[in-house]
């Protein structure tokens, strides 16, 4: 069973992709509602609904008695981090130089009194702790012997059914029998890599990319190919295709929806082309859709899996960033690789914890999840805007800030004279932690960048923390 996407949403997405690609300039007038309805052969109300969606997304603005116009985004786009241009291939086999700083930051994140801008999870105050507790108690009552027995290798049946049900809302045709549960998204990604690669293979990724993904790939004896990446629309597909043609890539591991740390969302046309490339070159695409539910636009962006017809996309997800980080609930729809991945899980990962997976299934079954997500997305979108404004106020002129369309991480690029690794040490006396940009690549780049999480509710202490970071950057550049 599949659910069709409403026509107004299809039109909004197509127009939105056009605007993000910069086909029109800020201030340009859009076709009138009546004109567009005639051109597309749809009702006036359908076009009006599409324009409402784009207005809510901040891409267009309505002017009284005049019509709809493209919002002036020129200054904002000029201020986003520059497109990355990593070297073609890195043969590095470990991240030993990253380990000390990662270990230190992870320790700081859990120490009392710290402002953990480095921690990429929502603050516990934003999560439904009490309701999850009740779901956990209900799960204990429902499972045989209170949930102490092993579950199926494929994972908790109730959870798989709920994931499949929720996937219907973005047009999925998945069934519970096509899903395998895991202990979080990293576990899903690891199982996928073990399934579709062998030591010595090369995996293509975005750049910058979450350091945990780099660590996972290298730990399996694989090589990393970092792709040029635009902060607004994602990887350069022409470059990727060139590498695929040359046979340099054996798998792709990408985050098309709200990449960590940039926060971009690949346009639909790019996702469709990416899936087509996987089919043409018969290359598996491991899709990390961890942040897909944390969209700022009215509708959830479709993952690449929607366009997968030949089973080359392994779609991975989790509730670790939206609901219960400590429950370790993740999943994968491995497509044509189902049987092999299930075997890998049986031999190398074993059974998933039934009790926490049943608890999340119970929470999802009661339709509490979408209500929770709506509230969480509202807070995160507001946080993002307030963090950005504070950074623009307190950081030196010329600072570039990403424009995430979802998720909860900002990528900040400052003056090239700034070393954010040194900034980590300078912030320690203030008990403020950031993630230095150099951790997000295997190459010597992003030394003047940092990732800041806006998962903490914006308050006076957060404002003070961002101001303090800005003051120390001013000192480094002598302003």
pLDDT tops 90 at residue 391: yes
SS3 118: coil
At the top level of CATH, the class of 128-369 is: alpha beta
Helix (H) or strand (E) holding 204, with range, is strand 202-205
Please write the tens of the pLDDT for every residue from 237-285.
999 999 999 999 999 999 999 999 999 999 999 999 999 999 999 999 9
**How many Å apart are CA 410 and CA 204, to the nearest integer?**
23
Q: In DSSP terms, which residues pair with 285 in a beta bridge? A: 252, 313
At the top level of CATH, the class of 7-77 is: mainly alpha
pLDDT attached to residue 76: 45
Please write the tens of the pLDDT for every residue from 204-227.
999 999 999 999 999 999 999 999
Q: Across the beta sheet with 223-226, what order do the strands follow?
A: 180-182, 330-333, 313-318, 285-288, 251-254, 202-205, 223-226
Query: Whole-model pTM?
Result: 0.84
Comparing 150 with 296, which gets the higher pLDDT?
Answer: 296
Per the prediction, the chain carries an average pLDDT of: 88
Give the pLDDT mean for 107-130: 87
pLDDT attached to residue 374: 92
Please write the tens of the pLDDT for every residue from 24-82.
777 788 888 888 888 888 898 888 888 877 775 667 777 777 888 887 644 444 578 88
Dihedral sign for Cα atoms in the order 13, 17, 20, 24: negative
Comparing 168 with 79, which gets the higher pLDDT?
Answer: 168
Domain ranges of the chain: 7-77, 81-125+373-477, 128-369
Burial environment of residue 88 by CB neighbours within 10 A (0 to 12, 13 to 18, 19 or more): exposed
pLDDT tops 50 at residue 136: yes
Which region among 26-35, 85-94, 116-125 has the lowest average model confidence (pLDDT)?
85-94
pLDDT attached to residue 48: 83
Centroid of chain to Cα 425: 28
SS3 411: strand
CATH assignment of 81-125+373-477, given 3.90.1150.10, 3.40.228.10, 3.30.230.70, 3.40.1190.20? 3.90.1150.10
């Amino acid at each position: 069973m599949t659910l069709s996407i409403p026509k107004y949403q299809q039109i909004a997405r197509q127009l939105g992709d056009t605007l993000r690609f910069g086909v029109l300039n800020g201030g340009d007038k859009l076709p009138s509602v009546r004109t567009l309805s005639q051109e597309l052969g749809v009702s006036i109300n359908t076009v009006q609904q599409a324009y409402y969606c784009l207005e809510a997304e901040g891409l267009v603005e309505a002017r009284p008695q005049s019509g709809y116009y493209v919002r002036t985004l020129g200054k904002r786009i000029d201020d986003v981090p520059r497109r990355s241009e990593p070297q073609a291939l890195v043969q590095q086999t470990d991240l030993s130089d990253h380990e000390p700083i990662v270990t230190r930051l992870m320790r700081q994140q859990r120490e009392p009194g710290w402002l953990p801008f480095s921690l990429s999870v929502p603050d516990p105050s934003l999560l439904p702790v009490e309701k999850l507790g009740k779901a956990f108690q209900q799960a204990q009552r429902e499972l045989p012997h209170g949930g102490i027995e092993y579950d199926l290798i494929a994972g908790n049946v109730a959870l798989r059914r709920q994931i499949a049900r929720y996937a219907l809302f973005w047009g999925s045709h998945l069934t519970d029998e096509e899903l395998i549960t895991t202990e979080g998204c990293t576990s899903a990604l690891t199982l996928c890599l073990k399934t579709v690669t062998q030591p010595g293979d090369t995996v293509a990724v975005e750049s910058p990319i979450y350091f945990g993904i780099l660590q996972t790939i290298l730990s399996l004896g694989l090589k990393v190919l970092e792709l040029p990446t635009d902060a607004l629309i994602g990887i350069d597909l022409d470059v990727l295709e060139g590498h695929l043609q040359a046979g340099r890539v054996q798998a792709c591991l990408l985050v098309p929806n709200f990449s960590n740390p940039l926060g971009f969302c690949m346009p639909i046309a790019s996702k469709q082309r990416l899936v087509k490339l996987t089919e043409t070159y018969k290359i598996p695409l491991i899709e990390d859709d961890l942040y897909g539910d944390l969209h700022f636009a009215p509708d959830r962006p479709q993952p690449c899996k929607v366009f997968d017809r030949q089973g080359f996309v392994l779609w991975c997800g989790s509730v670790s960033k939206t609901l219960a980080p400590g429950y370790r609930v993740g999943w994968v729809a491995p497509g044509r690789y189902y049987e092999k991945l299930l075997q890998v899980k049986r031999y190398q990962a074993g059974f998933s914890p039934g009790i926490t997976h049943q608890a999340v299934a119970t929470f999802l079954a009661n339709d509490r999840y979408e209500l929770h997500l709506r509230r969480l997305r509202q807070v995160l979108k507001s946080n993002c805007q307030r963090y950005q404004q504070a950074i623009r106020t307190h950081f030196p002129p010329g600072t570039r800030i990403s424009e995430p369309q979802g998720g909860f991480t900002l990528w900040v690029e400052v003056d090239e004279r700034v070393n954010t690794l040194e900034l980590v040490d300078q912030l320690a006396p203030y008990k403020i932690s950031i993630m230095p940009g150099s951790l997000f690549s295997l190459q010597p780049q992003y030394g003047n960048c940092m990732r800041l999480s806006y998962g903490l509710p914006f308050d006076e202490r957060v404002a003070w923390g961002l101001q303090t970071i800005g003051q120390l950057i001013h000192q480094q550049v002598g302003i």
